[in-house]
Amino acid sequence: MAEVKEETRAAAPEGAAASTHPAIQTVNLSKRFGKTVALAGLSMTVPRGEVFGFLGPNGAGKTTSVKLLLGLLKPTGGEGWLLGRPIGDLETRRRIGYLPELFRYQGWLSAREVLALHCELAPLPRSSWDDEITSALETVGLTDRAADRVGTFSKGMQQRLGLGAALLGEPELVFLDEPTSALDPVGRHDVREIIRGLASRGTAVFLNSHLLSEVEQVCDRVAVVDHGRVIASGSMDELLGGAAVKVRVGGLSAADIGKLSSFGDVDDEGDQLTFTKLKPDRVPDLVSQIVALGGRVYEVAPRHQTLEDRFLQLLEEEEK
């Protein structure tokens, strides 16, 4: 959120320089539905080729953000650009893929026909359709069902089809809104591989999700949104604040524990102290200090803070 570059507010000129513009950029993008604030001033920059995770509980404003960026909703305030062009620009949509949260495709068409429809609307050169469709079907594992009507598909298969449609034409930016909501563990693994594949070829991915482990595994950076506001953002390391160290200890008074605050934030849980933001090379010093204060050390264990821990922590802080 802090990375907003005001100088690129104007529409980017076409040509080679256009590819240097971020994949997504917003400045105070806001949306109200009547009195309800769905999004309160979203400012962010997603560079090209980055996998960006957009996290938040249900109703936080994630899907609203995606729809605003895609021009499906009109913002009530602020500005935004996709690939250097103002949001809502028709031509930019040629270079974008989108899997909606509410994925639904023409049940009376076959999977191949749905993809051909998207090739036609994209629009892609007709000579490339066969290869594009075959590749998309293969990537999402629907080759065997290509000729079957979508109406006979399970939800998971329809979501795979939607993902296939979003991949057509090698887009420069792909929006995936809860892309694994209907998928089994194998499907989720496949989606992670697809996202990694997109990133490796330089496609920016905007991943909307509340599945934290999924985001943690594939995203370069994340933003956490709640009640329409971004409450934290940054790289995964920045957000998780480094490793924490858990020390099981006895024989320390409250005053003694207070003296350990120089080693980082201390969470006193009785016989267990958790030090956050403690660099690993300072752990021996910490143990020496505890022993010097008369404490007895039973266990020292580094603890990796998961995104889930951090997410819940952020939401709790927000509630306060």
Partner 1 sequence: MPPVLVIARLTVQETSRRRLILALIILTLIVVGFSAWGFQKITTVTNRQGVVIPPEQVALITSQLLIVVTFMYSGVLALSAAVVAGPLISSEVESGLLLSILARPVRRSEIVIGKWLGLAVLIAMYAAGSAFLELAAVDWATGYVPPHPIQLVLYVGMEGLALLSLGLLLSTRLSGITGGVIALVAWLMGWIGGVVGDIGTGLQNDAVAKVGTITHTILPTDLLWRGAIYALEPDAFLATMRAAGAAARANPFFAADPPPILFLAWVAVWFALMLGLSILSFRTREI
Interface pick for partner 1 out of 103, 206, 263, 311 (rule CB under 8 A)? 103
Our CB check for partner 1 shows the closer of 146 and 314 to be: 146
CB of 285 to partner 1, least distance (A): 55
Interface pick for partner 1 out of 1, 109, 266, 293 (rule CB under 8 A)? 109
11 binds partner 1 (CB under 8 A): no
120 binds partner 1 (CB under 8 A): yes
90 binds partner 1 (CB under 8 A): yes
Structure tokens at 152: 């006979």
- Give the footprint of partner 1 on residues 164-183 (CB under 8 A): 165-166, 175
Pattern 51-80, partner 1, x by CB under 8 A: ----------------x--x-xxx------
CB of 91 to partner 1, least distance (A): 6
Structure tokens at 114: 């749905």
CB of 186 to partner 1, least distance (A): 24
Q: Which stretch binds partner 1 (CB under 8 A): 95-103, 227-235, 269-277, 279-287?
A: 95-103
Task: Enumerate binding residues for partner 1 (CB under 8 A).
Answer: 67, 70, 72-74, 90-91, 93-94, 96, 98-100, 102-106, 108-109, 117-118, 120-123, 162, 165-166, 175
